[in-house]
Amino acid sequence: MFYLDRNALQEEPARNAQDPQVSDWSARFVELAQQARYPALRKFYEAGAVGPETPLKDVPLVAIDFETTGLDPRKGGIVSIGLMPMSLNRIHCAGARHWVVKPRARLSTESVVVHGITHSEIAAAPDLSQILDQLLEQLRGKVGVVHHRGIERSFLNAALQARIGEGIEFPVIDTMELEARLYRRKPLSLWDRLLGRRPVSIRLAQSRERYHLPHYRPHHALTDALACAELLQAQVADRFSVDMPVGSLWC
């Protein structure tokens, strides 16, 4: 996750003007492949995306987590990236990838305290542009799994805009949004608020607790990607069906 904790950012999935609302990513990727100029990005789109009717059990997935310098992709940068390839019945730890990268934004003391990535590590780390082709290759053909898409999708889009002059769009299943469907369908009543009751937390750690998943120390991109992968598996096993179309969950 990231300093100040994405959990403190808000208890709702982010929706903003730069968050694409796409129902058919396979068709959208055809359009984007024709527009892309950067070769690795064009290959990423040309690999395509599964159709929205594809059953969840047949969808190639990759859990994604970023540590960042802050909460605003316009001002902050990515510090580390964790990827965990997965399916609904298996997490492929042997294929996991983790990078520490040098952000173009300032690394604050507060962020070092939380995620533990120091100024000396950043000084020796590559710029994201140096591992970008590898990153896009790892994401190619897969649907992302994230907990709060306002971070991974927005920060990667901003990072690519700054480095290659074009952004990126890709489908994700947002485990926070899936929890919100259950626990944010209606706001608390006035009586509940007067009694000091608070909404059920949809943060990653608290969501995992509801499915009796183990506690992991937060703020390491690869560990958080694993935590997100396990959460999706638990959510689908408990509330959904492996045969439901991916288009009913992705965004």
What pLDDT was estimated at residue 42? 98
Q: Smallest Cα–Cα separation from 128: which of 81, 95, 64, 167?
A: 81
What pLDDT was estimated at residue 1? 47
Dist. CA 63–CA 144, nearest whole Å: 6
User: Do the Cβ atoms of 79 and 101 come closer than 8 Å?
Assistant: yes
Cα-based distances in Å from 150 to 16, 71, 91, 122, 242: 8, 9, 24, 24, 26
- Domain residue spans in the chain? 19-241
The token pair at 14 is 């982010």
SS3 of residue 238 by DSSP: helix
pTM here is 0.89
The token pair at 247 is 């288009």
**Domain with residues 19-241, CATH architecture:** 2-Layer Sandwich (3.30)
User: Do the Cβ atoms of 126 and 147 come closer than 8 Å?
Assistant: no
What pLDDT was estimated at residue 5? 47
What pLDDT was estimated at residue 11? 54
Dist. CA 205–CA 212, nearest whole Å: 10
What pLDDT was estimated at residue 21? 82
What pLDDT was estimated at residue 2? 39
Q: Following CA atoms 155, 157, 159, 163 in sequence, which dihedral angle do they give, to the nearest 10 degrees?
A: 180
Dihedral over Cα of 208, 213, 218, 219: its sign: negative
Question: Burial, 3: exposed, middle or buried (Cβ in 10 Å; 0-12, 13-18, 19+)?
Answer: buried
**CB neighbour burial string for 69-102, b if at least 16 within 10 angstroms, e if fewer:** bbbebeebbbbbbbbbbbbbeebeeeebbebbbb
Dist. CA 210–CA 204, nearest whole Å: 10
Tally of CA atoms within 13 A in the half-sphere of 4 that contains its CB: 12
The token pair at 90 is 């298996």
DSSP assignment string, 101-126: -B-SS---HHHHHHH---HHHHHHSP
User: pLDDT 10s per residue in the chain (251 long)?
Assistant: 433 445 444 455 444 545 678 999 999 999 999 999 999 999 999 999 999 999 999 999 999 999 998 888 998 899 999 999 999 999 999 999 999 999 987 766 565 445 557 667 888 899 999 999 999 999 999 999 999 999 999 999 999 999 999 999 999 999 999 999 999 776 766 665 666 667 789 999 999 999 999 999 988 999 999 999 999 999 999 999 999 999 999 99
